[in-house]
Structure 1
Amino acid sequence: MNQIVTSFLVVVAMFVAIDSHAQGADYTTDSLVVVKQQIQEKKALLVDVRDQAEWDRGHLEGALLVPFRKLQKGMTQADVEKVLPKNQIIYTHCAVGARSLGAAGVLKDYGYDVRPLQQGYKELVKEGFPVAK
């Protein structure tokens, strides 16, 4: 019983943290066709905000890993700017969309043109985004 309560509290805390960062960020209205085109034309980057373990199990070709947890726990604007250029659109994605919004809120605060995807990793793969080999 204590494990169930603890798990529930962890999940609630995670959603509160995501919500506090997600304010001011909405899912992109860009279609996945537009997203693919922007990435292909080097006008945009795809940023995976899942954890390292999720990334290691599979990730999208060309995506960059910037875990939401690292953004939450002290990745400064200077740290982010070493990894992500400001002259491209940033499309964030995660497993189901919640962390994508949270990360977008942080990146938006840092001055990025960030457009979170509601679609998660598996859905993007089904939509034809290539998996890294």
Structure 2
Amino acid sequence: MNLVVRNSLVIVALVFAGFGHAQGADYTTDSLDVVKQQVQEKKALLVDVRDQAEWDRGHVEGALLVPFRKLQKGMTQADVERVLPKNQIIYTHCAVGARSLGAAGLLKDYGYDVRPLQQGYKDLVKEGFPVSK
């Protein structure tokens, strides 16, 4: 099954399972080159919304870990505001794009300029984002 079809099926399943915030955000149209540039210029922050175990196996250098599960189940708006700046674009990413979209919906509700990436961690690595372990 190709990546686009798999991602679409995951998103549809999550929406039908009550993943309401997936409807509140759309994937960014910013290219990965634009994302890299925005992050390098400190105009944007890359936020990894995967779980801690996934992060521990490898993550994009300079990214910030804010697991989607924590956002969903316990991080208040005040908690999020202590971790994420409001003066930067927030690019969310995960493994295949579904959690990125859900996290973006939550962050938009908190007033962030958030742009979820459809590309997952492995895609970012393939496109030259530096890896940290």
| Alignment TM-score, normalising by the size of structure 1 | 0.87
Gaps of 5+ in 2: 1-9
Is 2:73 the partner of 1:105?
no
Runs of 4+ aligned structure 1 residues displaced above 6 Å come to none
Q: Which residue of 2 aligns with 1:123?
A: 123
**Cα distance in 2 for residues equivalent to 1:129 and 1:99:** 20
1:82 counterpart residue number: 82
Residue 66 of structure 1 aligns with an amino acid whose one-letter code is V
The 5 Å alignment of 1:8-23 reads 15-16=14-15, 19-23=19-23
How many residues are matched?
Answer: 122
Question: AA paired with 1:42?
Answer: K
The alignment's C-alpha RMSD in Å is 1.7
Amino acid at match of 1:108: K
Tell me the amino acid that sits aligned with residue 48 of structure 2: D
Q: Secondary structure at the match of 1:47?
A: strand
Aligned AA (1:41): E
Q: Does 1:65 align with 2:57?
A: no
Contact 1:97 1:120 in 2 (8 A): yes
Preserved contact between residue 18 and residue 101 of structure 1 (Cα < 8 Å) = no
Letter in 1 for 2:14: F
Matched-pair identity in %: 89
**2:5 paired residue number:** none
How far did residue 19 of structure 1 move? 3.3
Q: How far has the Cα of 1:22 moved from its partner?
A: 1.4
Q: Distance in 2 between matches of 1:23 and 1:73?
A: 18
Question: Could you give the per-residue CA deviations for residues 14-72 of structure 1, whole angstroms, max 9, x where no partner exists?
Answer: 81467311112000000001000000000000000000000001000000000000011
Confirm whether residue 48 of structure 1 aligns to residue 45 of structure 2. Answer: no
Q: Distance in 1 between matches of 2:90 and 2:114?
A: 5
